[in-house]
Structure 1
Amino acid sequence: MSGVSRRAALRGAAALAAPMIVPASVFGKNAPSNRVTVGAIGVGRISRGHDMKEVHRHADAQIVAVCDVDTKRLGAGMQLVDSRYAASTGKDYSGTRGYTDYRELLAAKDIDAVLVSTPDHQHAPLAVRAVQAGKHVYLQKPAALTIAEGRKMADAVKASGRILQIGSQQRGQEPWPQFHRACELVRNGRVGKLRHVEIGLPGDPAGPEAPAMPIPRNLDYDAWLGTTPEVYYTETRVHSQTSFEDRPGWLRCEQFGAGMITGWGSHHVDIAHWGMDMEHSGPVEIWGSAEFPKSGLWDVHGPFETHARYANGVTMTISGALANGVKFIGDKGWIFVTRTGQVSASDPSKASDIPLVASDPKILDSVIGPEEVRLYKAPEQHRNWLDAILKGVPVSAPAEIGYRACSTCLLHHIAMKTGRRIRWDPKAERILGDDAANAMLRRPQRAKYAV
């Protein structure tokens, strides 16, 4: 462990540690040679409640190390992993290693793969360094902070030969198989010729004024800022020092992300691209507007409406005024898909509590024939990633596809910021005829953390 003892980390974790449900078997009878050894980088809310939790379900994977720049969270992460393995084996367990410097974790020869569950601005840099170190990667979405970083990430993965899965869990058969079903129906013409796609996403509220605070001794704040500029510390900007449940403040700061347009938009735009058969491309024109806070620390977009046009003529609208989900509209009907909750159909008598509805119920009853398009059917995303490492099956959301969804979201964000129509060349990946907008494809990086 870099710069902190195990005892100190566990002592600092006391305020954050909480019991978790542990699967009946974790280690199982798998020999070490048949088990993927995993290191978790970033062990806050998403890692504890989703990424590490999903990996813990499987006997052919073992989390052997965790890493966090906040030693309080690091200790809580070590304690959580230890307790899960102790409960599953019925024996005391204290073998989880802790690191405050991810470079030391990546240098460990006994680690095959890593979970990257950090704030958005760390995603692409950590993924690049991980694959260059020979590790397979499960990368939380969005794929990158900027389009330039995302392209570098996708290229680095391709050059490395390592397996990277983007955490686009709406593609998996668990927990939301309805997205696969909707995209397969659309790809096979059940709504006729696709004309338009609507995506509903919320915005974020403005935040409070937040004065500077002393940096907690347990937080390496400079490393947490990473590639982004130096700014004063305040807890509202970073994450809670007393809870894992609170939504962290960095999600609402443009320094570290673009807000909901990438935070949730990466999920829904990915599904839209899947149904549109545009997973390896992007729009050719983007325009729209948004409201941004005029005061307070949080500065990501609020209410917004943006639009895009693709080379095949399909158009897209993304707005907080639309129902959360993805609606595919063709010349013969429509399909709307969402994660859960009540949604409506064009005929109110067909309102439904299921997360997949259509203009005509017969669309949903349609059987996909053997000669029609069959989309890749993958299990839950973490299981799919482990199968890719162990068995060589494809991942459902590889680096290039995850990057293309993210880059499209970032183009919508650029349109919000500029208020201008953006013309995009998806092959050259360049904004045409607008040098100021084109400069927004990248951000300056602090030299000590630059990729």
Structure 2
Amino acid sequence: MNPSSNPSRRSFLTTAAGAVAAPFILPSRVWSADTAPNSRINVGFIGMGKMNSGHLGNFLGRETVNVAAVCDVDTNRRNNAKATVEKRYGEKKDGSYKGCDAYADFRELLARKDIDAVVIATPDHWHAFIGIAAVKAGKDVYGEKPLTHNVHEALTLTKAVRDSGKIFQTGSQQRSSKEFRIACELVRNGVIGELKTITTSFGDPAPVYNLKEEPAEPGLDWDMWCGPGPLKPYNSILSPRGVHNHFPAWRNTREFGGGMITDWGAHHIDIAQWGLGVDDSGPVEVRSAGVDKKRGAQLVYANGVVLTHGEGKGVSFYGTEGEVHVNRGKFELWLGGKKVHGFMDKEVDKGTSLDREVVLTEREFLKDAKVKLYESKNHHDDWLNSIKTRERPICDVAVGATTVISCHLMNMSYYSGTSFKWNNKERTFAEGGDPKWLTRDYRGDWIV
């Protein structure tokens, strides 16, 4: 796909609205009869680091899912994932289970006609290419956030999903946690008055790659790991040796990630925009914090609300009558300068709990709410349900695209030290900015 052929925002909306769901037929070849054969979903996993290890463990415990295959460019991680699946399923052998296949190349996994869906949790620079290949191969997708490595990829992936009619859930799981939904409903229903500003708290933008070369890791296809990105010298900080239990720092390289702006920022900006009600648009202006700054960049929305990347409590909404603060396991509602409900610190907020404070807030302030947001109690369940119903999940690809584009715009302001205007309908610069920032130079055949 040629970067110069980016779909416009108009075509983006047209394809999103006009997508027709393709019929979905589940295979009957399964390994257990505990659940009716035609209700099992055959799933493959691509990228077997820490994140997908967590997803794998979750899906292995579901009777409606059969984990059919795993894939990783690292031999140790690939074999470890295969062994994990076979150990779990081996406990239920009934003579029909044939084992879990393991692949070094995701294209071999996607070529399997019996695999219905895939979970993609590779480094960011692979997200778009594999996601597009997956939906073109007829797979439904759970794709980790941030959705893509750049703006061009976000638009191209969204179009591919719409053209395919497949289900795509972005892994922005905070939308499936009640405290975040209630916080956004409070804002959307005007409980804190007219929304004026938002503060989102997360770490730094990414520096350029500056790691020293280390001896190659046996069993790792480093060229394939780099894929669409540049072929940089191997360093174990990016792809750890052996099986690891941490999140590698490839996120902190512009070549392969986007720093904390596209890591935690993809979570918190996602919630901020849910509360704003701009899932289909995004900001209209980006204000730089200045050269070499790591905080202070701002996204400005059409209604005048300003979102600032700063220090705070996670996601903080400030209105004319009050404020709402929300983070994982934390929630506060302030009205008239006084805390009405909240749970931020178990050592401070003794005698209560997050669930209690959120439920009390909902009962008191949202009983007759005019705006009720999509309710999902579990991000994986929501995806699996969408696969069955063919209805879009809570964080559909288009939502993930709007979120990640906002993250990329913020990063652009940090990388360039400049401010610019953004056309959120056509998804391009309205004033200032360089179109080259919207895409990247792709390597070899890995062109999006």
SS in 2 for 1:272: helix
Worse-matched range after superposition: 339-348 or 91-100 = 339-348
Q: Following the alignment from structure 2 to structure 1, what is the Cα–Cα distance between the partners of residues 148 and 191?
A: 34
> Which residue of 2 is the match for residue 230 of structure 1?
231
C-alpha distance in 2, partners of 1:371/1:255?
Answer: 45
| Matching of residues 40-51 of structure 1 within 5 Å | 40-49=45-54, 51=55
Shift in Å, 1:340: 2.6
C-alpha distance in structure 2 between counterparts of 1:170 and 1:207, whole Å: 29
Q: State the SS of the aligned residue for 1:95.
A: coil
SS at match of 1:64: strand
What letter matches 2:239 in structure 1? H
Q: Aligned in 2, Cα 1:363/1:220: closer, same or farther, shift over 3 Å?
A: same
* Code of the aligned partner of 1:368: L
Q: Distance in 2 between matches of 1:357 and 1:421?
A: 43
Partner of 1:277: 277
Q: Relative to structure 1, is the Cα distance of residues 66 and 351 closer, same or farther in structure 2, using a 3 angstrom cutoff?
A: closer
Once residues 373 and 349 of structure 1 are traced to their aligned partners in structure 2, the CA distance between those partners, rounded to angstroms, is 21
Q: Look up the match of 2:189.
A: 188
**Aligned partner of 1:375: which letter?**
L
* Offset, 1:170: 0.6
Q: Counterpart in 1 of 2:443?
A: 446
Q: Which secondary structure does the structure 2 equivalent of 1:58 belong to?
A: coil
State whether residues 32 and 97 of structure 2, in contact with CA within 8 Å, keep that contact through their aligned partners in structure 1. no
Letter in 2 for 1:38: V
Q: 1:48 to 1:184 in 2, by over 3 A?
A: same
Alignment correspondent of 2:320: 331
Q: Match for 2:165: what amino acid?
A: G
- Mean alpha-carbon deviation: is it higher for 56-65 or for 210-219? 210-219
Unaligned runs of 5+ in 1: 1-25, 293-301
- Retained in 2: the 8 A contact 1:27–1:60? no
Structure 1 residue 72 and structure 2 residue 61: aligned?
no
Distance across 2 between alignment mates of 1:306 and 1:53 = 38
Q: Displacement of 1:85 after TM fit?
A: 1.6
SS at match of 1:82: helix
Deviates more, 1:119-128 or 1:197-206: 197-206
Tell me the TM-score normalised to structure 1 length: 0.83
Distance 1:184 1:85, change over 3 A: same
Go from structure 1 to structure 2 and tell me whether the alpha carbon gap of 1:195 and 1:48 turns closer, same or farther (over 3 Å shift): same
Aligned to 2:289: 289
Say if 2:155 is the partner of 1:155.
Answer: no
For 1:184 and 1:349, how far apart are their aligned partners in 2?
Answer: 16
CA 1:205/1:122 → structure 2, altered by over 3 Å: closer, same or farther? closer
**Alpha-carbon distance in 2 for matches of 1:239, 1:223:** 12
| 8 Å CA contact retained: 1:191, 1:363 | no
Show the counterpart of 1:96: 100
- Work out the CA distance in 2 between the residues paired with 1:37 and 1:349: 47
| Paired residues of 1:328 and 1:336 also in contact (CA < 8 A) | yes
- Return the offset for 1:380: 0.9
Which residue does the alignment assign to 2:329? Answer: 340
- Tell me if the contact between 1:288 and 1:421 (Cα under 8 Å) persists in the aligned partners: yes
The one-character-per-residue Cα deviations of 1:226-270 (angstroms, maximum 9, x if unpaired) are: 11111111212x221134213313111111011000111111111
The answer for the alignment partner of 1:395 in structure 2 is: 393
Which sections of structure 2, spanning at least 5 residues, go unmatched?
Answer: 1-30, 346-352
Could you say which residue in structure 2 is the equivalent of 1:166? 170
Per-residue deviation, residues 399-445 of structure 1 (Å, max 9, x unmatched): 0000100000110000111111110000011112325x332011110
Residues 155-204 of structure 1: CA deviation (Å, up to 9, x unaligned): 110110000000010111xxx31001111121111111111111111237
2-side partners of 1:215 and 1:92: how far apart? 40
Alpha-carbon distance between aligned partners in 2 of 1:282 and 1:102, rounded to the nearest angstrom:
33
Cα distance change of structure 1 residues 106 and 335 upon mapping to structure 2, 3 Å threshold: same
Alignment of 1:33 onto 2:33: no
Aligned mates of 1:130, 1:264 — CA distance in 2? 25
The one-letter code of the counterpart of 1:44 is: G
Aligned residues of 2:208 and 2:253 also touching (Cα < 8 A):
no
Q: CA deviation at 1:38?
A: 0.3
1:114 positional shift: 0.3
Q: Which moved more, 1:302-311 or 1:130-139?
A: 302-311
Once the two structures are TM-superposed, the CA of residue 348 in structure 1 deviates from its matched residue by: 7.8
- In the TM superposition, residue 79 of structure 1 has moved relative to its aligned partner by 0.5
Q: How has the CA–CA distance of structure 1 residues 205 and 268 changed in structure 2, closer, same or farther, with 3 Å as cutoff?
A: closer
The alignment status of 1:368 with 2:373, answered yes or no, reads no
Determine the C-alpha separation between the residues in 1 that align with 2:300 and 2:416. 18
Say what the alpha-carbon RMSD is for the aligned residues.
Answer: 2.9
**Identity fraction in percent:** 33
Name the counterpart of 1:264. Answer: 264
> Using a 3 Å threshold, how does the CA distance of structure 1 residues 194 and 362 change in structure 2: closer, same or farther?
farther
Instruction: Look up the SS of the partner of 1:305 in the other structure.
Output: coil
Aligned to 2:24: none
Tell me the equivalent position of 2:221.
220
Alignment pair present for 1:316 and 2:307: yes
CA positional deviation for 1:90: 8.7
8 A contact 2:178–2:377 mirrored in 1: no
CA contact (8 A) 1:86 1:92 kept: no
Q: State the alpha-carbon separation in 2 of the partners of residues 228 and 152 from structure 1.
A: 17
Whole-Å separation in 1 of the counterparts to 2:356 and 2:338: 11
Alignment of 1:344-363 (within 5 A): 347=338, 352=343, 353=345
Instruction: Tell me how far apart the structure 1 counterparts of residues 44 and 218 of structure 2 sit (CA, whole Å).
Output: 24
**Mapped partners of 2:38, 2:299: distance in 1:** 48
CA distance in 2, matches of 1:364, 1:387: 26
Shift in CA distance, 29/291, structure 1 to aligned 2, threshold 3 Å: farther
Pair 1:246-2:246 in alignment:
yes
1:404 to 402, 405, 426: 402
Query: Which residue number in structure 2 is paired with residue 307 of structure 1?
Result: 298
C-alpha deviation, 1:355, in angstroms: 5.5
Give 2:43's aligned amino acid: V
